[in-house]
């Protein structure tokens, strides 16, 4: 994990919109996720993997989505793409990209919306490149059904342009995946994601399994292509150090709920939710000299969530009402959103 100091850097574009993210209330968000709910129906019972998740994102904004494994981050991405498979089911909610509610599209409409309105770079995407097909053919395949009237040469031109946008030489078009390094393969996946200039890009752990130098290069690539197409970007990940440098705001998920949404600076300097505080204080930094402070207890099973606030068995600030009453997400005066009884009055 990247070592960080207690505050995120302001030199990266990740922080350039950090204040504007909440101040610009007159800007119509390009992405609105409203009350999204996903349940998995298993033999052992019902697991609510996403519970009433709502947030917005403006064009050009980058949001980091963090939380322990199983907190619902990837489920959220899959639900937004309408790629939840049985026994999972999207129970409720809307995902609006511009004026289009993805949840109300036909299957064909949604197929066309993928890549053109919203793109998803899944976890381990670089390992899913076809080893026996040239990179160029894979790029062309990804979009040719979106552009039935376009000539092959014009589609190829678009693909080469996308490769150049992610700093890859056009010769990569004719290469095979095994001829590329991990970082180059990940950039190919980013190139596929931007082929049709979507308004929203979701990247799930885009830097996992890469060395730290390549991680940085990949993040800088995402940053640059985002600037080019002014997309809203959601970065799912565990590395808070990278998040600190590259995102504008941070959402923290716990047991299928969004428990805090704050600007990156607020999150790293003054996290509100006790779980967010625990996440931040568990990071290595230059002050704690290698003494790691973990989060006590384990993430709960979604099949047997604790009553009230799902975090209460692990929370050092828990009060009697926490075990019986679920805290709703409230918006504080500063615009931050927190689901915790500690802030009910402040809200
Ligand atoms: Fe802790 Fe209570 Fe807040 Fe939950 S609602 S995070 S248990 S203080």
Residue 31 domain-assigned? yes
- CATH code (residue 110): 3.40.50.300
Q: Are residues 93 and 26 in the same domain?
A: yes
The reply to whether 69 and 144 lie within a common domain is: no
Question: In this structure, is residue 325 part of a structural domain?
Answer: no
Of 172, 194, 216, which marks where a domain is finished?
Answer: 194
Q: Are residues 188 and 205 in the same domain?
A: no
- Whether residue 84 is found in the same domain as residue 139: no
Contacts 24+ apart (CB under 8 A), 105-110: 110/82
Q: How far is the CA of 270 from the centre of ligand 1 (A)?
A: 16
Ligand 1 contact via 312 beta carbon (within 6 Å): yes
In a domain, 328, yes or no: no
User: Can you give the pLDDT at residue 128?
Assistant: 86
Quote the ligand 1 centre to 281 CA distance (angstroms).
17
Domain that holds residue 138: 130-194
Does residue 10 have its Cβ closer than 6 Å to ligand 1? no
Is 235 contained in some domain? Answer: yes
Q: From the CA of 336, how far away is ligand 1's center (Å)?
A: 16
The count of structural domains within the chain is 2
Q: For residue 344, what pLDDT is reported?
A: 83
pLDDT of res. 3: 36
Q: Is 81 within 8 Å of 58 (Cβ atoms)?
A: no
Per-10-residue mean pLDDT, the chain, length 347? 38 40 60 98 94 96 93 95 96 97 97 96 86 96 92 95 94 96 92 95 88 88 92 91 90 96 94 93 67 78 94 95 95 93 78
Q: Is the peptide bond before 87 cis (omega within 30 degrees of 0)?
A: yes
Supply φ then ψ for residue 334, to 5 degrees.
-70, -10
Q: Would you say residue 64 lies in a domain?
A: yes
Q: Which residue among 265, 280, 301 closes a domain?
A: 301
Residue 284 has a pLDDT of: 67
Residues 135 and 95 in one domain: no
Q: Is the CB–ligand 1 distance for residue 257 below 6 Å? A: no
Question: φ, ψ for residue 138 (rounded to 5)?
Answer: -70, -35
No. of helices (H) and no. of strands (E), the chain: 10, 12
At 266 the pLDDT is 95
Q: Based on the fold, state whether residues 152 and 168 are members of the same structural domain.
A: yes
Of 177, 194, 211, the residue at which a domain comes to its end is: 194
pLDDT score for 8: 45
Does residue 102 sit in the same domain as residue 168? no
Question: Distance from the CA of 343 to the center of ligand 1, in angstroms?
Answer: 9
Q: Are 256 and 293 part of one and the same domain?
A: yes
Whether 210 and 273 map to the same domain: the answer is yes
Answer yes or no: is 101 within a domain.
yes
Q: Are residues 43 and 189 in the same domain?
A: no
Q: What DSSP element (H or E) covers 108?
A: helix 107-116
* Ligand 1 centroid distance, CA of 238 (Å): 22
Q: Do 207 and 280 lie in a common domain?
A: yes
Instruction: Name which of 263, 225, 273, 257 is nearest 243 in CA terms.
Output: 263
Closest protein CA for atom 5 of ligand 1: 340
Instruction: Answer yes or no: is the C-beta of 172 below 6 A from any ligand 1 atom.
Output: no
- Say if residue 25 is in the same domain as residue 146: no
Which residues are paired to 100 by β-bridges?
97
Say if 72 falls within a structural domain: yes
């Amino acid at each position: 994990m990247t070592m960080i100091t207690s505050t995120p850097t302001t030199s990266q574009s990740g922080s350039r919109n950090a204040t504007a993210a909440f101040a610009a209330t007159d800007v119509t968000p390009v992405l609105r996720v409203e009350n999204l709910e996903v349940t998995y129906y298993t033999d052992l019972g019902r697991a609510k993997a996403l519970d009433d998740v709502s947030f917005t994102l403006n064009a050009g904004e980058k949001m980091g989505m963090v939380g322990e494994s199983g907190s619902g981050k990837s489920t959220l991405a899959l639900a937004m793409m309408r790629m939840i498979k049985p026994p999972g089911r999207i129970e409720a909610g809307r995902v609006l990209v511009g004026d289009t509610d993805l949840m109300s599209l036909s299957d064909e409409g949604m197929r066309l919306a993928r890549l053109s309105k919203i793109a998803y770079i899944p976890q381990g995407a670089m390992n899913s490149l076809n080893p026996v097909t040239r990179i160029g053919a894979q790029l062309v395949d990804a979009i040719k059904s979106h552009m039935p009237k376009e000539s092959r040469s014009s589609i190829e031109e678009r693909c080469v342009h996308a490769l150049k946008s992610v700093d890859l030489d056009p010769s990569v078009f004719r290469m095979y995946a095994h001829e590329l390094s991990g970082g180059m393969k990940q950039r190919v996946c980013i190139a596929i994601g931007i082929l049709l200039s979507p308004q929203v890009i979701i990247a799930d752990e885009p830097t996992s399994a890469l060395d730290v130098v390549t991680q940085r290069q990949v993040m800088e690539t995402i940053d640059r292509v985002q600037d080019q197409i002014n997309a809203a970007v959601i970065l799912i990940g565990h590395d808070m150090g990278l998040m600190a440098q590259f995102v504008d705001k941070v959402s923290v998920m716990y047991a299928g709920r969004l428990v805090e949404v704050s600007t990156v600076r607020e999150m790293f300097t003054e996290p509100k939710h006790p779980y967010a505080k625990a996440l931040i204080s568990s990071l290595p930094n230059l002050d704690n000299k290698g003494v790691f402070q973990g989060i006590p207890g384990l993430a709960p099973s979604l099949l047997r969530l604790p009553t009230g606030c799902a975090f209460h068995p692990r929370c050092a600030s828990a009060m009697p009402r926490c075990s019986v009453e679920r805290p709703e997400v409230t918006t504080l005066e500063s615009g931050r959103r927190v689901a915790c009884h500690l802030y009910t009055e402040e809200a």
